Amino acid sequence: MSALPISHRATTIRRPRLSRVLRGVVALSVAALAVLLLLQNYQVRALESKLLALWLSPLLPNGVSSSDTRFLITIPSGQLVAFDITQECTVLLLLMPVLGLSAFLLAFTKIGWLRAGLGLLVAAFSVLLVNQLRLAVIALTTQIWGIDFGYPLGHRFIGSVLALIGFALGFLIVLLIAFKPGKSRRRQGRAAISNNSGEQT
């Protein structure tokens, strides 16, 4: 029986491998979360409807009510109009690319765990706000100008622009938080610049 010393090199090789495995597991978990949300899209759309009615109701003369995936308003003619939050209008349409990007960055880059998680949370909250604003615009334009003019204006034109903004904003937030230089890197960069300028003088 003999004892062999464990080299420092062997221990340092295993740590990056373990880190890569953990990052892969977390990336798969984020992807699994995306699939789970898609499978539960009806419940998500119902929550969106209730959330919209909660904060928009005090702003409209006759308020806003929700029923499952629908929110209802009363237009000036007295007609009750129901808007169904379909799969094309849900926040999931904006959230799925954010989850996919976060999973990709975790699996194939070396960004920190905190940055990845923070970027995902901030981006998810931002696209939720944008989509709530989009739904509110549709309700407001319909309430002011009626179904024939107000609804197409809010849904097809203004709503489409807001959806594009939300899509781009989610991506941008994840990338900015993920790759924003930390304080130590900024200090190192300033020190390098000052050293270079000192050498030139």
Q: What is the pLDDT of residues 121-157, one digit of tens each?
A: 999 999 999 999 999 999 999 999 989 999 999 999 9
User: What is the number of structural domains in the chain?
Assistant: 1
Structural domain contains residue 53 = no
Mean pLDDT of the chain: 85
- Sheet of 80-84: strands edge to edge? 65-67, 70-74, 80-84
Among 3-7, 104-108, 110-114, 130-134, where is mean pLDDT lowest? 3-7
- Owning domain of residue 150: 14-39+92-193
Mean pLDDT of 144-172: 94
Residue 33 pLDDT exceeds 80: yes
Structural domain contains residue 198 = no
Structural domain contains residue 109 = yes
Structural domain contains residue 56 = no
Structural domain contains residue 64 = no
d(CA 70, CA 53): 10
Confidence band, pLDDT 50/70/90 cuts, at residue 15 = low
Question: Where is pLDDT greater, at 40 or 201?
Answer: 40
Q: Which amino acid is at 187?
A: R
Q: Which of 177, 195, 199, 175 is nearest to 187 (CA)?
A: 195
Question: Where is pLDDT greater, at 8 or 119?
Answer: 119
Q: Which amino acid is at 47?
A: L
User: For residues 163 and 169, is the Cβ–Cβ distance under 8 A?
Assistant: no
Residues in the chain: 201
Token pair belonging to 4: 């062999």
Residue 82 pLDDT exceeds 90: yes
Reported in sequence order, the residue ranges of the chain that DSSP labels E, i.e. its strands, are 65-67, 70-74, 80-84
Task: Quote the pLDDT of residue 76.
Answer: 82
Reported in sequence order, the residue ranges of 52-98 that DSSP labels E, i.e. its strands, are 65-67, 70-74, 80-84
d(CA 134, CA 129): 9
Structural domain contains residue 76 = no
Q: What percentage of the chain reaches a pLDDT higher than 90?
A: 64
Residue 201 pLDDT exceeds 70: no
Mean pLDDT of 55-69: 91
